[in-house]
Structure 1
Amino acid sequence: MNAVAHIRQFAWPDYDGVIEVWKSAGRDVLPRAELAAKLVRDPQLFLVAERDATLAGVVLGTFDGRRGWILRLAVDPAHRRRGIASRLVRELETRFATLGCPRVNLLVMPDNVEALRFWQALGYLPLPDVLCSKPISASIAPSCGCGQRL
């Protein structure tokens, strides 16, 4: 069968299928609790692609009110080269536009030439920004001044 992928919003019964797509694409799995916290803000920006009754692709987007971010685009290798990633991105861009999002950002590792080509073909241009990151640990959680963590 060579059915066209159907793009729709993520639902919790999709979680196991999403895990399989992430694993097959070599991506880390986002824990359920972290995903649940993210979905409180903008659940309509987490999309899945179904093809032949199988979850074939996934993209996670977020919008902070100023910029949209595309995170965790992945397509199962068995379903690649069929336009699924491009369709997921286009649908996500449409949803960003509906929210009034003026610009979308994403991160690509500089040595991932194939990904850079893909994103550039969709109109995303590399910028000379420097990514800075810092993990936040529980040891620096805010306290009430009484020695207890909030």
Structure 2
Amino acid sequence: MIRTFRWTDYAAVAAVWAAAAREIVPRAELELKLARDPELFLVAVDGDRVAGVVLGTWDGRRGWILRLAVDPARRRQGIAAALVRELEGRFRALGCPRVNLLVMPDNEAGLRFWQALGYLPMPDVLCTKPL
């Protein structure tokens, strides 16, 4: 089952991110995100266990997919694709015309996954600045 994140999920979500070698989003940062578009932070649950997670955001112009992760013991079961499909549906309901995401260039498996879902690589250059 896929549903919206609840604060009681935080420890399990952090464990999935850690097991998948993803950066754990701190509580304070999530509080700010959830004040904006809480319906775009999704978890896949099996009983009372979190099997996967995806963090979506929408700035009113573009949707972004961030921090997709599945428990390594639950991979290759369609959980990631199901999370993405649900998130895309929620983006559509908001009127979002395009979704973006970032994949590291050396993540060949990730690139194959996203391309299989219809996401095309773009030759953009990522720039970032910590504040």
Question: Do they fold alike, i.e. is TM over 0.5?
Answer: yes
**Structure 2, unaligned runs of 5 or more:** none
CA distance in structure 1 between the partners assigned to 2:30 and 2:70 by the alignment: 18
Give the secondary structure class of the aligned counterpart of 2:9.
helix
User: What is aligned with 1:18?
Assistant: 13
Deviation at 1:53? 2.8
Give the secondary structure class of the aligned counterpart of 2:114.
helix
Task: Indicate whether 1:113 and 2:108 are aligned.
Answer: yes
CA distance in structure 2 between the partners assigned to 1:75 and 1:52 by the alignment: 15
Task: Indicate whether 1:59 and 2:54 are aligned.
Answer: yes
Superposition CA RMSD, Å = 0.6
CA distance in structure 2 between the partners assigned to 1:54 and 1:104 by the alignment: 28
Deviations 1:32-90 (Å, cap 9, x if unpaired)? 00000111100000000012431000000000000000000000100000000000000
User: What is aligned with 1:82?
Assistant: 77
* Greater fraction of residues in helix: 2
> Could you state the TM-score of these two structures normalised by the residue count of structure 1?
0.86
Query: Structure 2 matches for 1:31-70, cutoff 5 A?
Result: 31-70=26-65
Deviation at 1:16? 0.6
User: What is aligned with 1:93?
Assistant: 88
* Residues 84-93 or 45-54, more deviating: 45-54
Amino acid at match of 2:42: L
**Structure 1, unaligned runs of 5 or more:** 1-5, 137-150
Task: Indicate whether 1:9 and 2:9 are aligned.
Answer: no
Task: Indicate whether 1:28 and 2:23 are aligned.
Answer: yes
Give the secondary structure class of the aligned counterpart of 1:40.
helix
CA distance in structure 1 between the partners assigned to 2:108 and 2:77 by the alignment: 19
Runs of 4+ in 1 over 4 A off after TM superposition: none
Give the secondary structure class of the aligned counterpart of 2:57.
strand
Give the length in aligned residue pairs.
Answer: 131
Bigger relative contact order, structure 1 or 2 (CA pairs below 8 A, ≥6 apart): 2
State the structure with more CA Rg: 1
